[in-house]
Structure 1
Amino acid sequence: MHTAHPRGLSPTEVGDFLALIGKEREQRLREAARRIRKQVGAGTLWHVNSTAAGGGVAEMLHILVPLYRQLGIPVRWAVIDGDDRFFDVTKRLGNLAYGSVDPADRLDPADVDHYLTRSAMEAKELLALVGTRDLVLLHDHQTAALVPDLAGAVRGVFWRCHVGVDAPTAGSRAAWDVLAPLLERADAAIFSIARHIPERLPDHQVAVIPPVIWPYSPKNEPVPRRMRGPYLERAGLGRERPPGYVVSEGAWDPAQPLVVQVSRWDRLKDMHAVLAGFVEGVPDARLALVGPDPTAIADDVEQRRWFEVCRAAWSELPDRDRTRVRLTCLPMANGDDNARLVNVVQRTADVVVQKSLAEGFGLTVTEAMWKGRAVVGSAVGGIAAQIEHGRTGLLLADPGDLKQFAELVTLVTEGQVDGPGLGARARRHVRDTYLPDADLLAVDELLSTHTTGQESPR
């Protein structure tokens, strides 16, 4: 267990944000912050997750922790330190929670025992950091087994689930067989969308809080066109010879529309099928599959495998198609630099796609919508919650339908639908719904509903 240290927010950023949301929303934000401060009292609000870099949860905490501090709320962030087997087990547990029925994701009793044993070690270290007046908000399946040790030792413990499945499967039921008993003493379990709440949890124990983005983070801040060139070159999407971490062959035509998917190299993100569907059905366009360095994220041990699946599929393409498809593994050594690369890649795209097989929420979609991009996404999880088909983006009803996927992308690349119009409406929707003041209002309601205000004896 170790503490994470997010970057601070400058007064200019906070001022710009308050101007963006307007006086009425600012007033509601400040009132919510005041009530949260009262709820926290002499304690601290803790966030606990499994990584300080990489993935939507870490990115969101790098926003929310400093913003809460700016508003006078005492908050800290801790990260669990699992071993390789722990992260392998929790990766499979997450896949199951997403509905996987792949035998490779199955957990045996020894796997669950290792998960619980390692979690008990982490809980002991966390209990040395927190106090009896503190409130603890745990994130995702990696932290669920901390609940039994924390319950009764702190004033409130909440567990937030960022994964889920639209329709239960044998895999998701197996995941909840593990998770549900661990959450019995949680003050509440929080989900990104209502339809991901499993039947195993009682109604009084659940809440719905969508994730949010920060408009001025390196991943979302405005980048003038004149400043994008060096980033595009480093992402392998410019005119020069791409760097070594980009899989490419020959020059491509910058006049052709650019289609981009930015996500982890992950089975559920379905990058290899994006490649297949694009090559088969999207003519006269370029595709960039952009993900992190597959060796750089400690809590996701499958990234290298799925990147190699994509690279193998690319290597088997005809010459012309290899020229118009590139795979980029963005460096992860500097988080802000990585985020700016993603920012420029998305802003340069004519179409941003997210053809996930399952999705907890899909902040990559939120980010692309904020940038005013035309988005084509699978109608799963939070993607379907964010996009109104034909108004703020295009939804693929069946993520496995590669023909329909290609047809939707082609509608934009060939100008048969108004891509800029989709993007403009998408940006307004994100401004109205998925900015951080929404999180504070939701957390205010959560604490008011589920916290007794009593210090826990220990």
Structure 2
Amino acid sequence: MVQIVEPRHPVSLSDYEGVADLGATVRSLRQEAESRLAGFDGRRLVMVNSTAQGGGVAEMLPALLSILRELGVDTHWLVIETQEQAFFRLTKNLHNLIHGAGDPNLGTPDHAVYDRVSAENAAAMEEFLQPGDVLVVHDPQPMGAGALLREKMDIAAIWRCHIGLDHETAETRAAWGFLDPYLKPYDHAVFTAPEYIPSVLAGRATIIHPAIDPLSHKNRHLQVHDLVGILANSALVKPWGPVISPAYAEPARRLQADGDWAPATEPEDFGLLFRPIVTQISRWDRLKGFFPLMEGFVSLKRGIEARTDLDNHHLRALQLVRLVLAGPDPASVDDDPEGKEVLSELCAAYSALPPHLQADVAILSLPMSSKENNALIVNALQCCSDIVVQNSIQEGFGLTVTEPMWKRAALMASSAVGIKQQVRPDLDGLLIKNPEDPAEIAHGLDALLSDGAKRAAFGRSARQRVHDNFLVFAQVKSWLELLTNTTAACWPNCD
């Protein structure tokens, strides 16, 4: 079976057009669509991925599909489903291999489970598809199903890959070797960076950067009352008075010293509204670099007493600063079976810290039962952070970088290829060379905590960078061009 998802996106193009710094961009997009869509000839666009919530793809699709609909493209969203956990363990390994990690020993059993689940999903998708559709398949999970359908039906098929590595390794060769038979039927592919394109797709791949929706719950501007209300409703701060909106049905949960989980204000308020805060929010994934980030932060804290180079303000900042490591409730992300394991290991590392350092670190599990509440919690956490970190060992692009850049946050991130597509070093943020080196991480945090003017300058530049390059309107323009070019190239040559 496949799930048909109706993208919920209450914002219209007119709403964007009414925002002062977005109006001209929206008018340009309308003109682009009017000139191009005659070439799309009334065809349907069907996008397929592996989960309706959790991760960047599921977050991007509602705005992208809704705007395309408003511009006149008949768009639809399907999510593949399977009860075979071996399939998602395999595709998670493929994800890691494309990033240069994971187990490269892929064999006949792996192909068997991939082929079986792909055939099941292809059969379910075929009932929904019709001749003339343009099928866009996101990442490795649905790739096999899309390939089968392209060979069987009179459709165009595009594979959208959100991950990659800028050099070849034994792991990447294993991944692309496994996926090669399923790549061949596709008419075109889309990548985030040219460095990610494998040789098998040379000459039939396009670069489209992911993007954020500036009026989404995760990225819209929060007034002070909104910000404090969200933190109070999610049990991230203790309210000192009445709050106009009710508490969320499911609060954010914080790891306790005894290994249990409790509302994030336990055993005491963490100080999000008053202390300097360093935050990383990502899926629970080893490639996100949570472990060395925590080690680097702990190293910074442990070194305070021995330092003689600190003025009073810098010393006070280091004494008060706290670290937030946050991610989704791993039980809610169906296509990432590794999440629970990674979170469990991170919890064990936290539990090994002495009590005074545990008090300075909060590991948060963010509820996913309400997409809106989850997005608002992430927005609020980013807005009340002095530094937002994305310490990825590898990163396909990193919307968790784009989001704080839009909010004018001071950013410290790794030099992973996807992040370098966005952040200009020492202009939009601080990029560290080795995200697995706690000493370099500690040094970077220390430099930013000591210099408020630099943090502010990074934030101003980052906001403009996102406005010019990484808002959803630029992404829609790129898709309009690719869709019309693909259909024009395909159908004259199809039977």
Shorter-normalised TM range: over 0.9
Which residue does 2:208 correspond to in 1? 209
Specify the SS of the correspondent of 2:22: helix
Which residue does 1:315 correspond to in 2? 351
Which residue does 1:221 correspond to in 2? 220
- Alpha-carbon offset, residue 182 of structure 1: 1.1
Matched length: 454
Give 5+ residue unaligned stretches, structure 2: 241-249, 258-266, 302-317
C-alpha separation between the residues in 1 aligned to 2:116 and 2:453? 54
Percent identity over the alignment?
34
Contact 1:98/1:164, CA 8 A, preserved across alignment? yes
Specify the SS of the correspondent of 2:214: coil
Call closer, same or farther: CA 1:73–1:20 in 2, change over 3 Å. farther
- Structure 1 residues 178-228: Cα deviation after superposition (integer angstroms, max 9, x where no partner): 11221112111110111111223222x111000111001111111112222
Call closer, same or farther: CA 1:253–1:73 in 2, change over 3 Å. closer
- Alpha-carbon offset, residue 171 of structure 1: 0.8
Q: Does 1:334 align with 2:370?
A: yes
Call closer, same or farther: CA 1:94–1:35 in 2, change over 3 Å. farther
Call closer, same or farther: CA 1:271–1:248 in 2, change over 3 Å. same
Call closer, same or farther: CA 1:40–1:54 in 2, change over 3 Å. same
Which residue does 1:357 correspond to in 2? 393
Which residue does 1:39 correspond to in 2? 39
C-alpha separation between the residues in 2 aligned to 1:415 and 1:433? 27
Q: Does 1:261 align with 2:269?
A: no
**Paired residue for 1:288, among 324, 332, 337?**
324
- Alpha-carbon offset, residue 268 of structure 1: 0.7
- Structure 1 residues 99-124: Cα deviation after superposition (integer angstroms, max 9, x where no partner): 10x44x64332012101111111111
C-alpha separation between the residues in 2 aligned to 1:375 and 1:168? 29
Specify the SS of the correspondent of 1:69: helix
Q: Does 1:439 align with 2:475?
A: yes
Specify the SS of the correspondent of 2:418: helix
C-alpha separation between the residues in 2 aligned to 1:236 and 1:279? 25
Contact 1:3/1:79, CA 8 A, preserved across alignment? yes
Give 5+ residue unaligned stretches, structure 1: none
Residue identity in the other structure for 2:67: L
Contact 2:16/2:215, CA 8 A, preserved across alignment? no
Specify the SS of the correspondent of 1:136: strand
Provide the TM-score with structure 1 as the length reference: 0.93
Which residue does 1:97 correspond to in 2? 98
- Alpha-carbon offset, residue 308 of structure 1: 0.8
- Structure 1 residues 391-448: Cα deviation after superposition (integer angstroms, max 9, x where no partner): 1001011122221111111111222651111011101100100112211221232234
Call closer, same or farther: CA 1:368–1:28 in 2, change over 3 Å. same
- Alpha-carbon offset, residue 42 of structure 1: 2.9
- Structure 1 residues 333-382: Cα deviation after superposition (integer angstroms, max 9, x where no partner): 01111010000000110000000110100001000100110110110021
Task: Flag the structure with larger Rg.
Answer: 2
C-alpha separation between the residues in 2 aligned to 1:244 and 1:126? 36
- Alpha-carbon offset, residue 457 of structure 1: 7.2
C-alpha separation between the residues in 2 aligned to 1:297 and 1:17? 35
Which residue does 2:381 correspond to in 1? 345
1:4-403 to 2 correspondences below 5 Å: 4-11=5-12, 14-16=15-17, 19-23=20-24, 25-83=25-83, 84-100=85-101, 102-103=102-103, 106-152=105-151, 153-203=153-203, 205-233=204-232, 237-239=236-238, 245-248=253-256, 250-251=267-268, 252-253=270-271, 255-282=274-301, 283-284=318-319, 285-403=321-439
C-alpha separation between the residues in 1 aligned to 2:155 and 2:296? 51
C-alpha separation between the residues in 1 aligned to 2:284 and 2:14? 32
Q: Does 1:454 align with 2:491?
A: yes
Residue identity in the other structure for 1:110: P
- Alpha-carbon offset, residue 166 of structure 1: 2.1
- Alpha-carbon offset, residue 3 of structure 1: 0.7
- Alpha-carbon offset, residue 141 of structure 1: 0.7
CA RMSD of aligned residues (A): 2.2
